[in-house]
């Protein structure tokens, strides 16, 4: 009796007499039969195929124009000039045509091939504390930025690191020649970054009673830059420093060696671009500054329209179609096996 009341010995370790602790809860175990498995396979194949076809039609509804300008037009002269002495200013022009009007919003990208932004040491070579405007990091950059943290005279570099140092610095002017006289295509070059980048991850140093140039006093520009960070866009003081849109877009590293980054968006406020980019002859005047011969790369510009799915990327539609084909093939094989061996209830081992 004393043992029962005090629950000592083996009784103290016995679980409570409940359905959960005594494992008496109701359970369901599916019975995998041909009548349940085969319809599931066919249904999944149909769903994947439907998604694949739908996404493929969506992707093909976009319009895209790619133009490799590495050695195109008069740019071959700049390419050869960079081969002999990189870093020299050079301008060139590339002419192309658009056969069909790009309707709606048109996005202008620059692209690089064989440029590996996904290398670990390259991605780590930055100072995020500096990029949010902390004065301590501005004067004493992180050791992760080495050897791009200070110049030979010992002055801190802003922004520091290999990512900022290798920032793409070609610039473009797009001109339309289809209306009798050349018309410069207006591009929106601001407001093209992610909201979190512009308002959270990148901030300028505090400029209370001082100019932006004074806030960066004591720092120097990266080695391969042509302008200091506080003067990247002389036409707009709000697009300078660490809040420069081009800098922010470049600092978001690409996952693959072939990538494109947004340069601008067509401003449809004036004619003849209110409905999009009209068909006709175009030219691009390029300030050719970014060398690619050292990593055997290529440079391109991309004009494209977008859908809710994005640009012309066929990977996901093709992945859905391939998956649906494999599932359908598996379902057909299982159906044949079932029809031959299991339809009459015979054991396949007999």
The CA distances from residue 32 to 25, 36, 183, 223, 230, in Å, are 22, 6, 68, 66, 67
Per-residue pLDDT, 2: 47
CB atoms within 10 A of CB 97: 12
Per-residue pLDDT, 265: 96
Q: Tell me the per-residue pLDDT of 160-177, one tens digit each, with 9 for 90 and over.
A: 999 999 999 999 999 999
Confidence of residue 311 (pLDDT cuts 50, 70, 90): confident
Judged against a pLDDT cut of 50, whether residue 1 lies above it is answered with: no
- Residue 160 is encoded by which pair of tokens? 């520091």
Q: Tell me the per-residue pLDDT of 181-200, one tens digit each, with 9 for 90 and over.
A: 899 999 999 999 999 998 89
CA distance 334 to 41: 10
Closest CA to 92 of 69, 65, 67, 66: 69
**By three-state DSSP, how is residue 135 classified?**
helix
Instruction: Calculate mean pLDDT across residues 227-244.
Output: 90
Judged against a pLDDT cut of 70, whether residue 205 lies above it is answered with: yes
CB 278, CB 104: distance < 8 Å: no
Characterize 254-293 residue by residue with b for buried, 16 or more Cβ atoms within 10 angstroms of its Cβ, and e for exposed: beeeebbbbbbbbebeeeebeebbbeeebbbebbbbbbbe
Domain assignments of the chain as residue spans, ordered by start = 47-62+314-338, 63-306
Closest CA to 298 of 63, 118, 64, 75: 75
Judged against a pLDDT cut of 60, whether residue 222 lies above it is answered with: yes
- Beta bridge partner(s), residue 76: none
Record the pTM.
0.81
Instruction: Calculate mean pLDDT across residues 127-141.
Output: 91
Q: Tell me the per-residue pLDDT of 84-122, one tens digit each, with 9 for 90 and over.
A: 665 678 899 999 999 999 999 999 999 999 999 999 999
Triad 118, 121, 125: Cα angle to 5°? 100
């Amino acid at each position: 009796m004393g043992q029962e009341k005090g629950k000592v010995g083996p009784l103290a370790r016995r679980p409570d007499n409940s359905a959960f602790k005594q494992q008496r809860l109701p359970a369901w175990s599916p019975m995998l039969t041909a009548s349940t498995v085969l319809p599931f396979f066919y249904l999944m194949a149909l769903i994947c195929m439907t998604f694949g076809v739908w996404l493929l039609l969506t992707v093909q509804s976009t319009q895209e124009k790619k133009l490799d300008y590495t050695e195109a037009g008069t740019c071959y002269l700049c390419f050869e000039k960079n081969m002999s002495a990189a870093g020299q200013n050079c301008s060139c022009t590339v002419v192309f045509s658009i056969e069909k009007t790009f309707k709606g919003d048109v996005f202008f990208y620059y692209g690089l091939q064989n440029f590996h932004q996904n290398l670990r040491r390259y991605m780590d070579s930055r100072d995020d504390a500096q990029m949010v405007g902390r004065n301590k990091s501005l004067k004493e950059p992180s050791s992760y930025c080495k050897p791009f943290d200070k110049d030979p005279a010992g002055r801190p570099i802003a922004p520091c690191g290999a990512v900022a140092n290798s920032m793409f610095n070609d610039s473009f002017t797009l001109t339309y020649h289809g209306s009798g006289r050349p018309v410069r295509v207006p591009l929106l070059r601001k407001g093209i970054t992610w909201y979190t980048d512009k308002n959270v991850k990148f901030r300028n140093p505090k400029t209370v009673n001082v100019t932006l140039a004074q806030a960066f006093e004591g720092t120097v520009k990266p080695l391969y830059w042509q302008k200091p960070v506080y003067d990247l866009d002389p036409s707009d003081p709000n697009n300078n420093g660490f809040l420069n849109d081009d800098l922010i877009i470049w600092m978001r590293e690409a996952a693959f060696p072939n990538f494109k980054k947004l340069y601008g968006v067509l401003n449809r406020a004036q004619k003849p671009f209110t409905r999009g980019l009209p068909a006709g002859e175009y030219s691009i005047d390029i300030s050719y500054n970014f060398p690619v011969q050292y990593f055997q790369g290529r440079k391109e510009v991309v004009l494209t329209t977008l859908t809710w799915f994005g640009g012309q990327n066929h990977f996901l539609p093709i992945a859905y179609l391939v998956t649906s084909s494999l599932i359908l093939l598996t379902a057909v094989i299982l159906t044949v096996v079932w029809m031959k061996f299991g339809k009459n209830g015979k054991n396949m081992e007999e």
